[in-house]
């Protein structure tokens, strides 16, 4: 297992957002976590990335507990989050945003290779490399946010609602690239989505979350065919 989440409980002050969440993720998998607004999906990501550390339970990366580590150490281990709302640096250029993604690294040649790789994945970013991030379209900003995370050399990429607010065609393009990143680099992907249909089409396995708890866990195919999932999350 590359990532194990063991019975974590996470709070915002007195509000308990996660009530004992457990997940098992193998290297090379695309896992999706689906659920309604407020179910606790973002909190699960934040608990893994160390931004909102769990109060109890354990998060292990390659068998090693990481839930006591500060977020930047978790990033340097290779767990890299792309936050919801594509929080890029709007006043920095595309190229500068990508540099920021590599700030923990010292391997200049590797950084250069990864930069060429992301420009190859998203040629539009190469075209706009001297443009300020804030002048990009929503879809391009999402591409930049994913690319910036790739510059940190993720072993596990944590994606929070990459489809949010984007046109279907752009979403399709971004999800194709997510699959490509997974296939080409064996990068493990943990995808949080409200667009359950789309997420289950690219994922290998999925978890369903309700009110801070995991209520279902199965292969993506089985979840797509599940009557409860169809009714509650697929609008069928
Ligand atoms: P969304 O799709 O809306 O992001 P979500 O499934 O990601 O939903 P979370 O954002 O993890 O859900 O929220 C889980 C619970 O924690 C909700 O009840 C929410 O109101 C609460 N919550 C989230 N962030 C905070 C915060 N900063 N302070 C207090 N409560 C919070």
Specify the pLDDT at position 85.
Answer: 77
Is the pLDDT score of 16 beyond 90?
A: yes
Which of the four pLDDT bands, split at 50, 70 and 90, describes residue 103? confident
Residue 13 lies in a domain: yes
Query: Quick one: average pLDDT of 70-86?
Result: 91
Residue-wise burial string across 207-232, b where 16 or more C-beta atoms lie within 10 A, e elsewhere: bbbeebebebbbebeebbebeebeeb
**Closest ligand 1 atom number to CA of residue 161:** 2
The boundaries of the domain holding residue 230 are: 3-86+154-234
Which of the four pLDDT bands, split at 50, 70 and 90, describes residue 137? very high
Compute, in angstroms, the gap from residue 140 CA to the centroid of ligand 1: 26
Question: Would you tell me how many other CB atoms lie within 10 Å of the CB of residue 75?
Answer: 21
Share of the chain above pLDDT 70, in %: 100
- Atom 14, ligand 1: residue with shortest CA distance: 40
Is the pLDDT score of 98 beyond 80?
A: yes
Output Rg (C-alpha) for the chain, integer angstroms.
Answer: 17
- The vertex-11 CA angle with 77 and 194, nearest 5°, equals 75
Residue 34 lies in a domain: yes
Specify the pLDDT at position 87.
Answer: 85
Q: What is the CATH number of the domain that holds 216?
A: 3.40.50.300
Is the pLDDT score of 86 beyond 80?
A: no
Which of the four pLDDT bands, split at 50, 70 and 90, describes residue 84? confident
Q: Is 43 in the pocket of ligand 1 (CB under 6 A)?
A: yes
- Atom 2, ligand 1: residue with shortest CA distance: 37
Which of the four pLDDT bands, split at 50, 70 and 90, describes residue 235? confident
Give the residue, out of 8, 10, 12, with the most ligand 1 atoms within 8 A of its beta carbon, to mutate for a pocket test: 12
Is the pLDDT score of 236 beyond 80?
A: no
Compute, in angstroms, the gap from residue 16 CA to the centroid of ligand 1: 10
Q: Is 14 in the pocket of ligand 1 (CB under 6 A)?
A: no
Query: Quick one: average pLDDT of 154-170?
Result: 94
Compute, in angstroms, the gap from residue 44 CA to the centroid of ligand 1: 10
Residue 32 lies in a domain: yes
Query: Quick one: average pLDDT of 127-142?
Result: 96
- Atom 26, ligand 1: residue with shortest CA distance: 12
pLDDT digits (tens, 9 = 90+) for 59-74: 999 999 999 999 999 9
The crossing angle, in degrees rounded to 10, of helices 168-185 and 138-150 is 10
Q: Classify strands 3-12 and 56-61 as parallel, antiparallel or unpaired.
A: antiparallel
Specify the pLDDT at position 83.
Answer: 86
Q: How many domains does the chain have?
A: 1
Residue 114 lies in a domain: no
Across all residues in the chain, what is the average pLDDT? 95
pLDDT digits (tens, 9 = 90+) for 3-14: 999 999 999 999
Residue 64 lies in a domain: yes
Compute, in angstroms, the gap from residue 190 CA to the centroid of ligand 1: 18
pLDDT digits (tens, 9 = 90+) for 22-49: 999 999 999 999 999 999 999 999 999 9
Helix (H, G, I), strand (E, B) or coil at 190: strand
Residue 12 lies in a domain: yes
Residue 118 lies in a domain: no
pTM listed for this prediction? 0.94
Residue 108 lies in a domain: no
Give the residue, out of 17, 190, 210, with the most ligand 1 atoms within 8 A of its beta carbon, to mutate for a pocket test: 17
Query: Quick one: average pLDDT of 175-204?
Result: 95
Specify the pLDDT at position 182.
Answer: 97
Q: Is 37 in the pocket of ligand 1 (CB under 6 A)?
A: yes
């Amino acid at each position: 297992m590359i990532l194990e989440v063991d019975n974590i409980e996470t709070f915002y002050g007195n509000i308990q957002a996660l009530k004992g969440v457990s997940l098992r993720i193998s290297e090379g998998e695309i896992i999706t976590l689906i659920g309604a607004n407020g179910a606790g999906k973002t909190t699960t990501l934040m608990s893994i990335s160390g931004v909102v550390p769990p109060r109890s339970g354990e998060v292990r990366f390659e068998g090693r507990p990481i839930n006591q580590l500060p977020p930047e150490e978790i990033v340097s281990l290779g767990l890299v989050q792309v936050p919801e709302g594509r929080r890029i640096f709007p006043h920095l250029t595309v190229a500068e945003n990508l540099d920021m993604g590599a700030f923990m690294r010292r391997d200049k040649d590797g950084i250069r290779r990864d930069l060429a790789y992301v420009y190859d994945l998203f040629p539009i970013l190469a075209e706009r490399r001297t443009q300020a991030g804030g002048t990009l379209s929503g879809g391009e900003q999402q591409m930049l946010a994913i690319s910036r995370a790739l510059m940190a050399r993720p072993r596990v990429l944590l994606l929070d609602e990459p489809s949010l607010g984007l046109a279907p065609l752009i979403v399709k393009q971004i999800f194709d690239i997510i699959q490509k990143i997974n296939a080409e680099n064996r990068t493990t992907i943990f995808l949080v989505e409200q667009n359950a249909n789309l997420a289950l089409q690219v994922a290998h396995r999925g978890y369903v979350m309700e009110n801070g708890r995991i209520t279902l866990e199965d292969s993506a195919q089985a979840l797509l065919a599940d009557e409860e999932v169809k009714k509650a999350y697929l609008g069928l």
